[in-house]
Amino acid sequence: MEIKIIDIFWDRIYLNLLFQGKEIEDKQIFLVSESQKIKLEVIKISEDTYKSVINITNINNVIMLKNEDYNFVIEENSTMSKIEITSEVGYKLESLDRIYRYTKNNFAYTVSFNAEEVEGKITLVLISRFMLENNKYKKERILGNKNKIKKAIFSFGKYGINVYYKLCSAIHPNKKNKILLMSETRAPISGNLKALDERIKEREIDKKYKVSYAFFKTLELSKMNIIFQYLKLIWKIAKQEYIFIDDYSPIFKFINLSKKTKFIQIWHAGVGFKSVGYARFGFSGPHPYKSCHRRYDYAIVGGKALIPVYEEVFGIAKEKILPYGLPRLDNFLDKDKIQAVKEQLYQEYPILAGKKVILFAPTFRGAGQKEAMYPFEKINLKEMVALCKKENAVFVIKMHPFVKEKTNIPEDYREWIMDLSNYPNINDLFYITDILITDYSSNIYDFSLLNKPIIFYTFDLDNYQIINKVHRPIREYAPGKVCITFEEVIKVIEEKDFQLEKLQKFREENFSVQNKKASDLIIDNIILKEGQYIKSY
């Protein structure tokens, strides 16, 4: 049977192709242009049907396709031939074109398709193009001298940052045995980096390696303070053999790290529903090339099932994504630790002792950290107080750190409702929590290990999924009951309709069982290079 492309369809940034033919796995299929030849991975899904999935932000570690036309070809016995498409595929090509906008809609990456006739057969052409804003329009637009000056200063500043880094790096050519733990979104050190730091000290790795720290919140600083912080930070970065971060770090957009430095992301989120990074490419996602995410030598995630998720988010090859687990969860289920934290919390907040705790911990709304908010009117405190009285419970509110506004709790409600948004570590609160109410947050990842009920209060479900974008449909993948109204939330608690079977499925899919702790895997395989897990995986 001849090999044909029998269907093409998109799933966000993934282009899916179905091939039909015999023994395709014994042949090689390539995406070929004038200057590139990229081998495609093909998976058998039935007797004579095969599938190939192309991530257009990262194709076999090529990053992005070039401004060229590409053909799908099959190579057999050193002979290459273009693959035919069915007429059904041919008719739908015009509906498959995609535009991925970036940099405030002034630029776009486009993928379009065309058909061409080769020896009486219809074959497929993929057209990859980077588009710039129309020059005529740019000339007509009134920028003003002030904006032109700002733009020039910003461009010079970006160039100057990399020059300054290269100079600092040259001054410190010996980067051996130096580790930097840093964050531009969290201060002081916390979460995965704190757990890794503690393990480094427990194993006395810090006696051989000099460990440095840099923790500040870039978006909360004035422009002058950012410049001052960056000058100090680049001096530190230039010395390091290893740099570990736990979130997006803007400074790495501007510098090209030395090959002597390994850059490792230990992403703070286990897995949630919010689309971030290149999962948002074309909406409000990053630049095709100039993103911190592209720079990682390795990214640490919770388990093997999460590799495809973060391959999409970071736009890097799956071989760079290591399913070691998250360091902050190394001792998360330790019984002595749990008991100690509980006692501390009950001593600090006596109102919680002997009560059922319902923790409300949603993510923020808004475009980003500066605009972050939560619509408090969506919480019916009166109904929650009535429930707490019946359930002998306390309703604890823990807003996302980006949300600065606090909940207005009436005086006569404070026996049953309290705001612990300023409490530094939500994982501590999980130990005393009986029911978690959240929405699209990644806090479900850590909490699910405790095997306690989770309720999803998603009053803006359709709006959030359509506008903010999500990795996976909430109703299908949420490990608990999904509610649209606050009345539904109350009813679920009263009737104990938690859908715990969904929680069990989530746990089985998203956690890897390791013989070693995540911190030890990072230390052994990346820092000490003594393990074989990177090579063998």
Q: How do residues 489-520 score in pLDDT, each as one tens digit?
A: 999 999 999 999 999 988 888 886 666 899 99
Strand partners, 81: 74
pLDDT in tens, 394-445: 999 999 988 988 889 999 999 999 999 999 899 999 999 999 999 999 899 9
* Domains present along the chain, CATH in parentheses: 4-136 (2.60.40), 145-330 (3.40.50.11820), 335-510 (3.40.50.12580)
**pLDDT (0 to 100) of residue 147:** 61
Positive or negative CA dihedral for 308, 310, 315, 317?
Answer: negative
pLDDT, residue 132, reads: 81
- What strands, in cross-sheet order, belong to the sheet with 178-183? 210-215, 178-183, 242-245, 262-266, 298-300, 321-322
Distance from C-alpha of 237 to C-alpha of 164, rounded to nearest angstrom = 11
| Contact status, residue 267 vs residue 289, Cβ threshold 8 Å | no
Local structure of residue 373 (DSSP, 8 states): B
Look at residue 47 in the predicted model and tell me its pLDDT: 86
What's the confidence (pLDDT) of residue 371? 84
Q: Give mean pLDDT in consecutive 10-residue pieces for the chain, a chain of 537 residues.
A: 89 93 84 93 90 90 88 86 94 94 88 92 94 62 56 66 93 94 92 96 96 91 84 95 95 92 93 83 84 94 89 91 93 95 96 96 85 93 96 96 90 95 93 96 93 96 84 88 97 95 88 81 92 56
The bridge status of strand 107-118 relative to strand 98-102 is antiparallel
Q: 388, 397 in Cβ contact below 8 A?
A: no
SS (H, E, C) 52-114: EEEECCCCCCCCCCCCCEEEEEEEECCEEEECEECHHHHHHHHHHCEEEEECCCCEEEEEEEE
CB 200 within 8 A of CB 206: yes
The pLDDT of residue 146 is 57
- The H-or-E segment that residue 482 falls in is strand 481-483
User: H or E stretch including 2?
Assistant: none
